Amino acid sequence: MFKYYLKKTLRNKMFIFWSLCFPLALMTLFTVAFSGIYDAENSVDTRKVSVVIESDSDFASNFSKVIDSIEDEEDSVLEVVEVKDRKEADKLLESGEIDGLFVAGKSEIDIVMTPDYTDTDCMILKAVANFYMRQYKMVEDAVSTGDLSKMSAVMESLDKELDVVSPERSAYIETTNPYLWYYFSTVVMGILFQAMAGINLVSDLQADISAAAMRVSVSPTKKLKIVLTGLAARYIVSLSVSVAALLAMKFLFKVPLGTRPVQLIAFVLLSNLFSLSLGQMFGLFFRGNMTTRGNKGTAIIMVSVFLSGEMIASLPGVFERYCPLINDINPATILNLCIYRLVFYDNLSTFYIEMAKILVLTVLFLAIATLRLRRQKYASL
């Protein structure tokens, strides 16, 4: 039976199309369309900056030294253009000779960008300024209180790389490469389309949906055994399809998948099970025959994927500002955030929170589906 359910899933052309072929085609399209655009717009070439000191405080004068030291580093992202005063700096900004300007005040640093600045330019300058302000505050606290433990914390943090991405919900807006969001969104779309296999499983078992299921229902094989066998077979196919899509993404389309294989595997395992269980919910609670239920499921997945930024990467950011609930309940956005944070964030706490959400929903869906699918008698056929 397991072998047959494997065959059945692999021969389901719609399933293979939506979960594998379509995502790969989209990724190819993205690669053709976006190739070079990001590099052109957001090259990691050195940013030309100037520093204007508007205070004689230690905070301001030390900042100038820090910038100079960053410039001296190998592969530095900053090249300092010396200016006499703010007026000259503004002129250079206007003419585009510098990309940005640090204005160091008594205890804060303002950033002024050229009119045609990119997100990445802005983010780098902000990261530098924030980093300095944070470290300065910690040193100041340590010196004033004489607490050596605080001082050692400062030393430790100095060894760390600068965070160039805001660690919380701003992932929708401030990505390192907004085009990568499309690839992850596409992979997530493929995973979500595994729900088709879940719908298919329901149609194989519910005698009130398909006549073949009626035949299965009157056989002496226990329903639970059929449910679990069918689920296991479809799960294996789903995992294989997802792994194929991720490998293609990494090796064909050169999209980074991060350096945390264990968490990535956990994500693939859980997200596929989630999609299957979601498909079971669609199959169980939608009305109509198998085709109608499948079409409704497809429509919902399409909407979910669209809202997660598959076509307009900034869309989740807009929702985050005006109606965060949409992001919180949209399965595609949840899965997207999960894998994106896994790949790009140092701090995985938000990744684990999203994973926990998915896990709870999966367990709930599977429990409901299993109870319903074990049903032996129907009120009508």
Partner 1 sequence: MSEIIKVENLVKRYKELIALDHFSFTVNEGEIVGLLGPNGSGKSTTINCILSLLEYDSGKVEVFGKEMSPKAYDLKSKIGIVPQEVSVYGEYTVYENVDFFCGLYVPDKNERRKLVDEAIDFVGLRDFVKFKPKKLSGGLKRRLNIACGIAHKPKLIFFDEPTVAVDPQSRNNILEGIEKLRANGATIVYTSHYMEEVEQLCDRVIIMDKGQAIAQGTVDDLKGMIKKSELIRIEVMGVDEDTIDKIRELKSIYTVSYEDNVLKVEAGSGKHNVVDIIGILQEKGYKLRKVFSEQPTLNDVFLELTGKELRDE
- Binding region for partner 1 (CB under 8 A): 1, 4, 7-8, 11-12, 207, 210-212, 214-222, 376-381
CB of 367 to partner 1, least distance (A): 21
Least Å from the CB of residue 227 to partner 1: 14
Of 7 and 134, CB closest to partner 1: 7
CB of 186 to partner 1, least distance (A): 26
- CB-wise, 145 or 221, nearer to partner 1? 221
**Nearest of 279, 284, 290, 277 to residue 212 by alpha carbon:** 290
CB of 233 to partner 1, least distance (A): 12
- 257-265 long-range Cβ contacts below 8 angstroms, 24+ apart: 257/343, 258/342, 258/343, 258/344, 260/342, 260/348, 263/342, 263/348, 263/351, 264/339, 264/342
Are 75 and 127 in contact, with CB atoms under 8 Å apart? no
Pick 103 or 226: Cβ nearer partner 1? 226
11 vs 84, beta carbon nearer partner 1 = 11
The residue count of the chain comes to 381
To which residue do tokens 């990535």 refer?
264
The answer to whether 203 and 283 are in contact (CB under 8 A) is yes
99 three-state secondary structure: coil
| 206/280 with CB nearer partner 1 | 206
Least separation in angstroms between residue 306's CB and partner 1 is 30
- How many other C-beta atoms are found inside a 10 Å radius of the C-beta of residue 73? 9
Give the closest residue to 197 by CA, choosing from 17, 381, 378. Answer: 17
Nearer to partner 1, 167 or 288 (CB): 288
Q: Angle at which helices 223-247 and 349-373 pack, to 10 degrees?
A: 150
How many whole angstroms separate alpha carbon 49 and alpha carbon 190? 43
Name which of 15 and 102 has its Cβ closer to partner 1.
15
Asked if residue 282 lies in contact with residue 296, where contact means CB atoms within 8 angstroms, the answer is yes
Q: Do 202 and 285 form a contact (C-beta atoms < 8 A)?
A: no
- Provide the minimum distance between the beta carbon of 250 and partner 1 in the complex, in angstroms, as a whole number: 31
A 10 A CB-CB count for 56 gives 9
Helix 178-192 and helix 22-34, axial crossing angle in degrees, nearest 10: 170
Distance (Å, whole) CA 230 – CA 297: 19
CB of 201 to partner 1, least distance (A): 13
Q: Output 78 or 205, the one with its CB closest to partner 1.
A: 205
Min separation Cβ 379 and partner 1, Å: 6
Q: What are the tokens at 218?
A: 């009157």
Quick one: which of 54, 46, 105, 34 has its CA closest to 72? Answer: 46
- Mapped onto helix, strand or coil, the DSSP state of residue 49 is strand
Radius of gyration of the chain (CA): 27
Judge contact between 141 and 150, C-beta under 8 A: yes
In the bound state with partner 1, the residue whose beta carbon lies nearer, of 325 and 379, is: 379
- Smallest distance, partner 1 to C-beta of residue 210, A: 7
Query: Which CB sits closer to partner 1, 221 or 347?
Result: 221
Please report how close the Cβ of residue 30 comes to partner 1 at its closest, in angstroms.
32
